[in-house]
Amino acid sequence: MSNCSSGAAQANPFAIAQAQLDKAAAKIGLDPSVHAVLREPMRELHVSLPVRMDDGTVRVFKGFRVQYNDARGPNKGGIRFHPDETIDTVRALAAWMTWKCAVVDIPLGGGKGGVVCNPKEMSEAELERLSRAYIDQVGRILGPEKDIPAPDVYTTPQIMAWMMDEYCKITGYHAPGVITGKPLAVGGSEGRGDATARGGAYTVREAAKHLGIDLTKSTCAIQGFGNAGQYAALLFSSLLGCKIVAVSDTKGGIYDASGLDPQKVVEHKQATGSVVGFPGARQISNEELLELEVDVLVPAALEGVITEHNAPNIKAKIICELANGPTTPEADEILYQRGVFVIPDFLANAGGVTVSYFEWVQNLMNYYWEEEEVHAKLDKKMTKAFADVLSASLEHKVDMRTAAYIVAIQRVAEAMKLRGWV
C-alpha cells in the first residue's frame, strides 16, 4: 500500500467523506437529525505514546482511535502506522468503515486508529514497544464487545499479535477476539491474507456480468503493489482470467501489453523491493498507469489518486477501488458522466473486514473454519452486497458510490432509530 500520488495531500479526506454522505443523504431525503449524527464521529481518543528507542532515548509518538458509529454493533477498523497520519484521515476511514460494515451487512460499526510514525525507520524491537504502548493507552476503549482493531497501512499480523498479547496482559484473560488479522497460531482466520483482493475479485466478476464483459478476454492494470495489489494481480489472473498488463508501486510502474506473470512480479518485488526493473517490461509512471487502455483499473494505493485532472483521460471500463478513497468527488462525477463503472472502495475492498468479522466470530466461538468455507462465505456476502448496491444504483439512477452510501446509511439510520438515538 504505497502513496502513488501527491493528490492525497491536496484534499481533506474527512471533508470528502462528509461530502459523499451529504450527496447520498440529499438523494434519499435523509432525516436531518440522523444526517447530523452521521456527519461526525461519536467519540475519538488522542494519546501520547512514550517509547524507549534502541539507542536509549525516549520518543513520544502521537496516536489516535476514532469510534465513528456503533449503532449496528461494536466498532471495527484498522490501525495505521504512517508518517503522514492525520486525525482527519483517521476520521474519514472510520466513517468509511461504518458504511463498509453496513453495506456488506455485518453487525459491526466503524472505527479506525493510527500512529504518526515511520515504521520503515524503526527496528522490530522499537515497533513492538510502540505497538504495546498503543494498547496501554487505547486498550481502555477496546474489547471484543466494544471495538475490534485490525491491520492497515504498515501494520502486520505480527503487530496484531503483540497488541492482542498486551491487551490480554492488561485484562488478565485470553481475548483473541479483541483484534483481527492475527497470525493463524494465535487465533487468526484461514483466508484472511488475500481477503481484500478476493472480495474485490468477486465484485469485478459481478460487475462484468452486469456489463456483459468477458473477463477472460480483458486486461487489467493495478496501481499499488502492497498486500492488496499483489493478491489482486494473482487472483484477478487466476480466478477471473484477466490479463495483468501493468502494475506499480512508490518507485514506479511496469507495463507489458502481452501480459505480466503476476507470480514472477511478486517474486521480483520481494527480491528487489520494487516492481521496477522487471525483465521484459517497459517502465511507466504511476500517472501513466491510471490512463492506460485497459478494461479493469485497480487503484490499490492511498487516497486521492484519481482527480478531476486525470478522470477525463481514464479509459478503463471498470474501476475496482481496493484502496480507501482513491477517487475525489469531482472525479466521481466525471467518471459517471463518461460511463466508467466504479466499484466504490467500501464495497470493493470490504472483503478484508468481512473475513475479519469471520475471524472475530471464530474467536468468540473458539471454533475455526477451513479456508474453503471462509471463501464460500465471503463470496456469498460480497455477491449479495454488490447486488444490493447495483439495485439501489438502478432504482435511484445514481452512481455506484452514491448507491452504496444509500444502502449503508439506510441500514445505520434504521438501527439508530430503533435504538431511540434520533
Known catalytic residues are: 112
Which of 88, 42, 30 has its CA nearest to residue 409?
30
> Would you give the distance in Å from CA 288 to the centre of its chain?
23
- HSE-CB at 278 with a 13 A cutoff on CA atoms is 31
Cα–Cα distance between 154 and 250 in angstroms, integer?
Answer: 14
Q: Helix, strand, coil: what percent of the chain each, to 5?
A: 50, 20, 30
Q: Which three cell numbers stand for residue 307?
A: 482527480
Q: Which three cell numbers stand for residue 122?
A: 524503526
Q: Which three cell numbers stand for residue 264?
A: 514472477
Q: Which three cell numbers stand for residue 195?
A: 481477503
Cell 483482493, located at residue: 197
Q: Which three cell numbers stand for residue 272?
A: 528487489
Max Cα-Cα span within the chain: 62
> With left for phi above 0 and alpha for psi between -120 and 50, is residue 366 left, alpha or beta?
left
Q: Where are the alpha helices (DSSP H) in 109-177?
A: 124-138, 157-171
Q: Is the dihedral of CA 315, 320, 323, 329 positive or negative?
A: positive
> Would you give the distance in Å from CA 36 to the centre of its chain?
25
Cα–Cα distance between 321 and 412 in angstroms, integer?
Answer: 23
Exposed e or buried b for every residue in 275-289, given b needs 16+ CB within 10 A?
A: bbebeebeebebbbb
